[in-house]
A and B are shown apart, each in its own frame.
Chain A
Amino acid sequence: MVVYVLCLMFFLVGIYCILRKRNIIKIIVGVIISEYAVNLFFLLVGYKSSGRSPILCSDRDVQYMAAHMVDPLPQAVVLTSIVIGLATTALLVAIAMRIYGKYRTFDITKIRELKG
């Protein structure tokens, strides 16, 4: 139970970074932290105490493994989610570099041309 609460606090730390930091790179780091927190939470949901890893070996048969192994579905799903996070991060970094080329600053309080 403590582990889940710590994961959610980790997510809130990431959201705090997105809301309060002024540098664009720190905002991107906040997005990365939040995504990793949700992935970690998903993995911990699939944990079973004293369970084996879900890899079939030739020494035990399938019924024994099915009763004793950790849930494999979150592991496959988190793999996809990590790839999605990578793609979003790469795009955010590319946009941030071009913003620096046009505005000459990374400070979001000075990047405020659109108003109204």
Chain B
Amino acid sequence: MASKEHGAGMSLIVKTVTRFTVGLIMLYGIYIVTHGHISPGGGFAGGVIIALSFIHLMLAYGKEAALSKAGKKTISLFESAGALMFLTIALLGYTGGYFFLNFFKDKGKPFELLSAGIIPLCNVAICLKVGAGMFAIFVVLILFKLNFEDDKRD
């Protein structure tokens, strides 16, 4: 009984720890995405970690708190925006003559943060799509469970 004193979600200890760690998890995900061309990681792994930070928030505080941060329309918009950004980068390669060409003039030096042509932009696009996609799958499966329970009562 004492564990539900703040309403929905889990106990007080979990909520306090979550307040500290959610921001750190998202920062770590952004670090993995932007350094994808220098160290292992890249778009997909970073996107999964960013989605995990939202899921962490939803598990600790309940549905309404997480959905107020990023509602269903926002998630759907981010997902499509990520895919369209990736496709635009690919089609911009046509200016150089080939699909998916690396169209930056200055390729940069190795081991620097601003180098390797279009790879960092592609990483950001993939991170948006994968992160939004994984969180959307989780939200849809959780929300569907509610409709089904009402349906079962009659």
Contact = CB atoms under 8 A, between A and B. Distances in A.
A–B proximity contact (CB within 8 A): yes
Interface of A: 53, 55-56, 58, 79, 83, 86, 90, 93-94, 97, 100-101
A94 B141 CA distance: 7
Report whether over half of chain B's contact residues are helix, strand or loop; otherwise say mixed: helix
B137 interface: yes
Interface residues of B, number: 14
Contacts of A97: 141, 144-145, 148
A97 B144 CA distance: 9
Report whether over half of chain A's contact residues are helix, strand or loop; otherwise say mixed: helix
A108 B141 CA distance: 22
A101 B40 CA distance: 42
B54 interface: no
Given A55-B39, A56-B110, A58-B111, A93 B141 contact: yes
B1 interface: no
B100 to A, nearest CB: 15
Given A97-B148, A101-B151, A55 B40 contact: yes
B17 interface: no
22 contacts: A53-B40, A55-B39, A55-B40, A56-B110, A56-B111, A58-B111, A79-B44, A83-B44, A83-B130, A86-B134, A90-B137, A93-B141, A94-B140, A94-B141, A94-B144, A97-B141, A97-B144, A97-B145, A97-B148, A100-B148, A101-B148, A101-B151
